[in-house]
Structures are given as C-alpha cells and as structure tokens.
Amino acid sequence: MQKVEFIIGSPRKRGNTAILAETLNKQLDKERFTSNFTFLYDFEIKACTDCRGCKSGNLTCIVEDEMQELNKRIDAADILVFGTPIYWFTPTAKMKSVLDRLRPYYGGDKLANKKMVILLPAGVGEKDCDLTIEMFKRMARSLKLEFIGTVTSKAYDIGDAKKDKKAMAAITELANQINKIIL
Ligand SMILES: Cc1cc2nc3c(=O)[nH]c(=O)nc-3n(C[C@H](O)[C@H](O)[C@H](O)COP(=O)(O)O)c2cc1C
C-alpha cells in the first residue's frame, strides 16, 4: 500500500481546504492507497529561527515541539498533499511555519521519490494562488519532491469548494492521475 499524507493548513477543519482534500481522498483507489489527515492547527509548531542546529550532528531539527511527529508522518508518506487556504496570496502562517521547518530535508535525499500535490482554496480563486503555486513548485524542486498537481478553488464561505464545479472536476482528474501512478 502507498501512503498519502494530507497536511491541512486551515484552522477550519470542515472548511474548503478539508472539502477539497476529502473529495480527493474519496476518489483514491483504496486497494492501493491508505490516507492519513494531519490538521496542522492541532499541532504545536514553533517558528524556525535559523538556529542552524540542523546543520550539524545528525542533521535534524533540534527544536522540541510536535514537528517531530509531523516528520514521522512525512517520512512515512509516498504522496504529500499540502492543502492551505490562501491568506494574502500565500499559505496560512501555520502552513508556512511547517514549510520553514522542512529546512533540514534540504540537501538530503529523504524526500526524493515522494510526490507533492497542492490544494488551494481562495476567495477570488486561481488568480490569487499564483505566488503560492510557484513557491510550492520551487520548494518541491529544492527538496527533490516530484510536483504532480494543483487544484485551486474559488471558495470563500465554508462549503463553497463543493459548489465549484471546475474544482470538483479538477479533483477527479487529479485522483485519476494519482490512481495511475505506479510507485
Ligand atoms: C487572513 C485572510 C486572508 C485572506 N486572503 C485572501 C487572499 O489574498 N486571496 C483570496 O482569494 N482569498 C483570501 N482569503 C479567503 C480564504 O482564502 C478563503 O475563505 C478560503 O476558502 C478559506 O479556506 P478554508 O475554508 O479551508 O479555511 C483570506 C482569508 C483570510 C482569513
């Protein structure tokens, strides 16, 4: 079985990000994929302070909080699905804290062969997602993750993502693409 880790960066557990993620999850081939959901607002994640502790010793982050649990989930996954609402053209601060804490993976091969998907709801839709899409793509390249897909959705109130037919169709297309992946 291949593992899909959904990393949700919205404080709204039943919000648009979660809707996109659950819709994708429901369409994954359950014979081949097992999924886990991580809601980042349940975790204490301190900000990276560039202490450089990860540059010596065993090259891991020395900050003690709940990032270590997230690291375990990331390490165990084959596909990482990052879902975050757009807050001021960028991911939420919580998601950004987690992304910064992925710094110890840079330069290593721990994430090589894993795949990255991003799910981005935004009040005005795709137009406000461009910076975030570009950031995730560059980050994937830096971390040797294979970037395999993006779904954006025009969604503001909780539930709007479900009504966005274009986004729902894009999710189905993405699920079909993932279901065809031979890992
Ligand atoms: C602080 C804040 C900033 C936001 N900035 C943007 C923005 O720049 N562009 C946009 O389209 N939507 C913006 N939104 C709207 C959210 O992206 C939108 O409501 C989204 O559907 C929330 O997803 P969720 O239900 O998963 O939390 C912002 C919302 C908040 C709370």
Within 8 A by CB and 6+ apart from 134, the residues are none
Q: How far does residue 109's CA lie from ligand 1's centre (Å)? A: 34
* The ligand 1 atom nearest the CA atom of 19: 26
Q: Tens-digit pLDDT profile for the chain (183 aa)?
A: 999 999 999 999 999 999 999 999 999 999 999 999 999 999 999 999 999 999 998 889 999 999 999 999 999 999 999 999 999 999 999 999 999 999 999 999 999 989 999 999 999 999 999 999 999 999 999 999 999 999 999 999 999 999 999 999 999 999 999 999 876
Q: Tell me, what's the pLDDT at 58? A: 84
- Determine whether the shortest distance from the Cβ of 10 to ligand 1 is under 6 A: yes
Range of the domain at 161: 2-179
Q: Domain holding 30: CATH number?
A: 3.40.50.360
- Determine whether the shortest distance from the Cβ of 153 to ligand 1 is under 6 A: no
DSSP letters for 82-106: EE---BTTB--HHHHHHHHTTGGGT
Q: Tell me, what's the pLDDT at 54? A: 94
Q: Tell me, what's the pLDDT at 181? A: 85
In terms of pTM, does the model score above 0.95?
yes
* The ligand 1 atom nearest the CA atom of 88: 8
Q: How many domains does the chain have?
A: 1
Parallel, antiparallel, or unpaired: how do β-strands 33-39 and 79-83 relate?
unpaired
- Determine whether the shortest distance from the Cβ of 121 to ligand 1 is under 6 A: yes
